Chain A
Amino acid sequence: MSSFKVFDIAGSGMTAQSVRLNTTASNIANANSISSSVEQTYRGRHPVFAAELAEARRMQGEVSGVQVLGIVESDAPLNMEYNPNHPLADADGFIYKPNINVMEEMANMISATRSYETNVNTADAAKKMLIRTLRLGQQQ
């Protein structure tokens, strides 16, 4: 019964989107985490999605949901700011701010939320189809 697979597929999509939402939340929360060296500064994190092809091939089935390959840190340059009066300023008077664009993260958050909702709707529609099928021929 392939309607059951729809739940797996939609579920994998929901998991992936919630990981994306988590990283976005982490990025927004740390957008103003200032530090005094390049190494210690928080960097924007983004998940990498991939279709579950290897898994699908192994099972000889056609299920290809989404998997999160990993979370990568952004290589974009950090925002350096000359602020010698700041308590975290280094010897040269610089403070380091994360390479996060809050607007970008907000847009990412909205996109992840919408995609999550779409997956929920898919699972919901599959559930209704299944229930209707199970009731087939039971009306009097």
Chain B
Amino acid sequence: MSISFQKAFGMHPEAMVIREKRTQVLAENIANADTPGFKARDIDFQQALAHAQHRQGRSVSRTHEKHFHIDSSVRKELQYRNPDQPDTGDGNSVDIHRERNLFMQNDLAYRTSLQFLDGRITSLKKAVKGQ
């Protein structure tokens, strides 16, 4: 039996990359809570994860400058949030309470993935050491 890191870690590495991106997007929303005209954005996690898993296993490198650049960022999943209220007066669509809650939720989900990965790594280590 061979040890496959890809199988051992499952979807958690991809999930963590997306979670981290999302942390950044939510931090932008929170920082711009008082900026006139700023529109809150978010990453659709389900969609982003589906894309990430679809991309997995396909690594494309550009060996010529005229090759098309295959974008692996999660920019496409970045969407504007539907505001809860029509207008706040200055065109800003950030609901700070909502953003903070989502930030906390995202943080917890990230920690959960970390916890799972930690467990997997511990068991792999045990298997390697034969303890």
Interface of A, helix, strand, loop or mixed by DSSP: helix
**How far apart are the CA atoms of A20 and B35 in the complex, in Å?**
12
Contact with A along B110-123 (1 / 0, CB 8 A): 11001001100110
**Are B114 and A133 interface neighbours, CB within 8 A?**
yes
Residues on A with beta carbons closer than 8 Å to the beta carbon of B24: 2-3, 5-6, 9, 62-63
**How far apart are the CA atoms of A137 and B125 in the complex, in Å?**
9
Please tell me if A13 contacts chain B, counting CB pairs below 8 Å: yes
Please tell me if B11 contacts chain A, counting CB pairs below 8 Å: no
Contact with B along A102-140 (1 / 0, CB 8 A): 000000000100010011011001101100110011011
Residues on B with beta carbons closer than 8 Å to the beta carbon of A50: 35-37
Contact with B along A54-73 (1 / 0, CB 8 A): 00000000111110000000
A136-B117, A139-B118 known; A2 vs B20 contact (CB < 8 Å): yes
**Are A9 and B31 interface neighbours, CB within 8 A?**
yes
Residues on A with beta carbons closer than 8 Å to the beta carbon of B80: none
Q: Beyond the given A119-B31, A122-B103, could you list 17 further A-B residue pairs with CB under 8 A, ordered by the A residue number? A: A2-B23, A9-B28, A50-B37, A51-B32, A62-B24, A62-B75, A64-B28, A64-B32, A65-B28, A66-B32, A66-B35, A111-B34, A115-B33, A115-B96, A118-B100, A122-B27, A122-B30
- Give me the interface of A with B, judged by CB distance under 8 Å: 1-3, 5-6, 9-10, 12-13, 16-17, 20, 48-51, 62-66, 111, 115, 118-119, 121-122, 125-126, 128-129, 132-133, 136-137, 139-140
Show 16 residue pairs from A and B whose CB-CB distance is below 8 angstroms, ordered by the A residue.
A2-B24, A13-B32, A50-B36, A51-B38, A62-B28, A63-B24, A64-B32, A115-B33, A115-B34, A118-B96, A122-B26, A122-B27, A129-B20, A129-B110, A137-B121, A137-B125
- Give me the interface of B with A, judged by CB distance under 8 Å: 16, 20-21, 23-28, 30-38, 75, 78, 96, 100, 103-104, 107, 110-111, 114, 117-118, 121-122, 125
